[in-house]
Amino acid sequence: MLEGAKSIGAGAATIALAGAAVGIGNVFSSLIHSVARNPSLAKQSFGYAILGFALTEAIALFALMMAFLISFVF
C-alpha cells in the first residue's frame, strides 16, 4: 500500500516537467524570434538563451529530486 502510494507520488512529481518543457520551448522560440529580427545579436542572445535554458532545466530537476526523495528517502 505504502509502496504503491510512493510510486504514484513519485510519478505525480514528474508532472512538473510539463512546465519545464514549456519553459525551455519558450526560451528557444524567443531566441529564434529575436535572432530572426536582429541577426547581428545572435551571439549575445545565444549566451543568454543558454543561461535561461540552464536555469529552467534546473527547475525541472527540482521535480526529479522530489521524485527521488519520495521514492528513496521516505
Residues at the contact surface with another protein, assessed by CB under 8 A: 50-51, 54-55, 57-58, 61-62, 64-65, 68, 72
Residue 56 CB, shortest distance to another protein, in Å, is: 11
The residue (of 5 and 65) whose beta carbon lies closer to another protein is 65
Residue 59 CB, shortest distance to another protein, in Å, is: 9
Residue 71 CB, shortest distance to another protein, in Å, is: 9
Q: Is 30 exposed, middle or buried (0-12, 13-18, 19+ CB in 10 A)?
A: middle
Radius of gyration in angstroms for the set of CA atoms belonging to the chain, rounded to a whole number: 17
